[in-house]
C-alpha cells in the first residue's frame, strides 16, 4: 500500500513539473516573437455595388395641386348700346368736310376704327360715346373727305363706360342736339323714329335700370 502511494506521488510531481516547463517555454516564445498589429488582418467590409439601387431625381411633385380650388375668371358684364341717328333732311346728304368740322366742333376726335369719339378728358382709352358714318363700313376716310357725301351718322355709347351711364347719355344728347342744329338735320332714335321727349326719358331710365342691375349705380 505504501509503495502505491509513493508511486502516485511521484507521478503527480512529474506532471506538475511538465506543466511548469511547458508554460515557461510558451511564455518565452511569446516574449521573443515580434508583436503584430492586431488590426493588420482586420478585413474591411466590402461594398457590394451590384446591389445598390439607382436613385432617380424627377420633377417635383405638387401634392396639393389637384386639391386646390379652381377659380373661374369673372365673366365680363353684359354690354348695353344706346344709339341715336342724325339724318340729312329730304333724303339729302352732308358734305364730308362740313360734317367733320361739326364733329370736331363738339369736341369729338378722329381715332380708333376710323370713327370719331368723345373721350373723358384726354384719355383715349375712356370713350364716352362715338360717331360712325351710316355709309358702310362706317369709318371716315379723311384723306378724301371733301369728295364724300354722307347721308347721316350714328351716335352711340357702349355701357358700362368710363362714367355713370346717365351722365354719359346726357353728354351724348347735348352733342346730338348741337349737331342736328348746326347741320339742319333730323334727330332720330335707334329705330329711325323722331326722338321725342318721352323717348329720351325712357332711354335714360333704361340706362339707370341697367346700371342698378349690374350693381354699378
% of the chain beyond a pLDDT of 90: 59
User: Is 34 part of a structural domain of the chain?
Assistant: no
Q: CATH number of the domain at 111, please.
A: 3.30.1400.10
User: Is 16 part of a structural domain of the chain?
Assistant: no
User: Is 48 part of a structural domain of the chain?
Assistant: no
pLDDT tier for residue 4 given thresholds of 50, 70 and 90: very low
What is the residue range of 194's domain? 80-214
Report residue 47 as a C-alpha cell: 461594398
User: Is 152 part of a structural domain of the chain?
Assistant: yes
Q: Is 93 helix (H, G, I), strand (E, B) or coil?
A: coil
% of the chain beyond a pLDDT of 70: 65
6 vs 192: which has the higher pLDDT: 192
Q: Mean pLDDT in the chain?
A: 80
Residue-wise pLDDT tens digits, 84-104:
999 999 999 999 999 999 999
* Spatial separation of the C-alpha atoms in residues 82 and 189, rounded to whole Å: 9
Which pLDDT score, from 0 to 100, does residue 43 have? 47
Residue-wise pLDDT tens digits, 73-87:
666 678 999 999 999
pLDDT tier for residue 58 given thresholds of 50, 70 and 90: low
Q: Structurally, how many domains does the chain consist of? A: 1
User: Is 97 part of a structural domain of the chain?
Assistant: yes
Residue-wise pLDDT tens digits, 160-191:
999 999 999 999 999 999 999 999 999 999 99
Which pLDDT score, from 0 to 100, does residue 124 have? 87
User: Is 5 part of a structural domain of the chain?
Assistant: no
**How many CB atoms sit inside 10 A of residue 181's CB?**
11
pLDDT, mean of residues 94-123: 95
User: Is 13 part of a structural domain of the chain?
Assistant: no
Which H or E run contains 110? strand 109-110
pLDDT tier for residue 122 given thresholds of 50, 70 and 90: confident
- Residue of 186, 193, 153, 178 whose CA lies nearest to 203: 193
User: Is 86 part of a structural domain of the chain?
Assistant: yes
* Spatial separation of the C-alpha atoms in residues 67 and 14, rounded to whole Å: 94
98 vs 25: which has the higher pLDDT: 98
Which pLDDT score, from 0 to 100, does residue 18 have? 53
Amino acid at each position: 500500500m505504501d509503495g502505491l502511494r509513493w508511486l502516485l506521488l511521484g507521478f503527480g510531481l512529474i506532471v506538475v513539473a511538465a506543466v511548469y516547463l511547458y508554460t515557461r517555454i510558451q511564455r518565452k516564445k511569446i516574449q521573443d516573437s515580434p508583436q503584430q498589429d492586431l488590426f493588420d488582418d482586420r478585413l474591411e467590409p466590402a461594398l457590394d455595388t451590384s446591389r445598390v439601387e439607382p436613385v432617380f431625381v424627377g420633377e417635383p411633385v405638387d401634392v396639393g395641386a389637384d386639391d386646390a380650388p379652381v377659380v373661374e375668371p369673372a365673366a365680363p358684364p353684359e354690354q348695353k348700346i344706346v344709339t341715336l341717328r342724325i339724318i340729312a333732311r329730304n333724303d339729302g346728304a352732308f358734305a364730308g368736310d362740313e360734317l367733320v368740322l361739326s364733329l370736331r366742333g363738339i369736341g369729338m376726335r378722329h381715332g380708333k376704327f376710323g370713327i370719331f369719339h368723345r373721350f373723358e378728358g384726354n384719355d383715349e382709352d375712356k370713350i364716352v360715346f362715338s360717331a360712325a358714318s351710316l355709309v358702310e363700313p362706317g369709318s371716315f376716310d379723311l384723306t378724301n373727305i371733301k369728295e364724300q357725301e354722307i347721308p347721316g351718322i350714328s351716335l352711340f355709347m357702349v355701357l358700362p363706360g368710363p362714367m355713370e351711364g346717365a351722365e354719359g347719355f346726357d353728354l351724348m344728347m347735348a352733342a346730338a342736339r348741337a349737331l342736328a342744329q348746326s347741320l339742319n338735320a333730323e334727330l332720330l332714335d335707334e329705330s329711325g323714329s323722331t326722338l321725342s321727349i318721352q323717348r329720351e326719358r325712357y332711354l335714360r331710365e333704361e340706362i339707370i335700370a341697367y346700371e342698378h342691375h349690374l350693381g354699378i349705380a
